[in-house]
Amino acid sequence: MATRGEAFAGLSVAMVTPLKAGQIDYDRLQEHVEFQIAAGTTCLVPVGTTGESPTVSHEEHERVITAVVKAARGRAKVMPGTGSNSTAEALRLTRWAAQAGADAALVVAPYYNRPNQEGLYQHFRALAEAVDIPICVYNIPGRTGCDVEPQTIVRLAELKNIAMVKEASGKMDYASHIAAATDLTVLAGDDSMTLPVMAVGGRGIVSVVGNIVPQDLIALVKAVDAGDLQQAQQWHRKLFQLCRDLLGLATNPVPIKAAMKLLGRDTGELRMPMLPLDAAGEDRLRRTLGTYGLL
């Protein structure tokens, strides 16, 4: 069954925001865009959690969106993170994304202030009615402190601009419920859950690990789409330890930035209060990258 956001099926990469001496490195950001497009990535997702959205300024946030749209030049979809715990702020960022030429907006559930389900519904409804680009509802209760429940997603699916859900609650019942009850495009929000989520009707992944091995994530997604469970399981097993360490050694995006530094693709620099991996963590990561064949 074709889903509402089918154009975004496949691999979306939650891009890091490259930093150099505390400032955003736009030349390296463009290199990241070219790397992803060469790999065949469906969609670029700048200034999300992996892109350190909590610590970029509003001006930087907008400038990164514009820079990625311009760099992509229509060769890949662009779905920037535009969420906030303030509906007015999320509205401003989402409008900016639409005006800049983004293809969709990834909107995380409001964090910290923990609205109830009606508050969540009204928040996403306000955005969906204000812009013409598709919106992906991002549910990640481990980060936000609130859970966009499947019943709320089903209500939101009645709005035409709500097209996708990035499901990162870790609850397979959520992905199953949404895929069964709506025509929304369900995207996995954890790399190691790509195969399980696609097995119940998901259409792809918004990936952190895709920053370094996009071709391998694409191969996994294509194997599922082709109905080749054995091949999909092989890719899942190959990727599993890499996914576990890149999302488990420390809070995202600390490990992925450390990995990109080790691979010569980033400075590894982060904005405070995020700190680099300690020596033990970096040693473990180096071994994992070596085992995978990247070092």
pLDDT at 87: 98
Annotated catalytic residue 257: no
Give CATH for domain 6-225. 3.20.20.70
Contact 138, 189 (CB under 8 A): yes
Alpha-carbon gap, residue 95 to 81, rounded angstroms: 12
pLDDT at 275: 97
pLDDT tens-digit map of 91-119: 999 999 999 999 999 999 999 999 999 99
Q: Which of 47, 78, 44 is nearest to 60 (CA)?
A: 47
Pairing of strands 43-45, 23-24: unpaired
Annotated catalytic residue 121: no
pLDDT at 2: 83
Low-confidence ranges of the chain (pLDDT < 50): none
Q: Which of 26, 111, 121, 138 is catalytic?
A: 138
Phi/psi for 161 (5° steps) reads -85, -5
Helix (H, G, I), strand (E, B) or coil at 128: helix
Q: Which helix (H) or strand (E) holds 135?
A: strand 135-139
Specify the residue for token string 């390296």.
Answer: 28
pTM of the model: 0.97
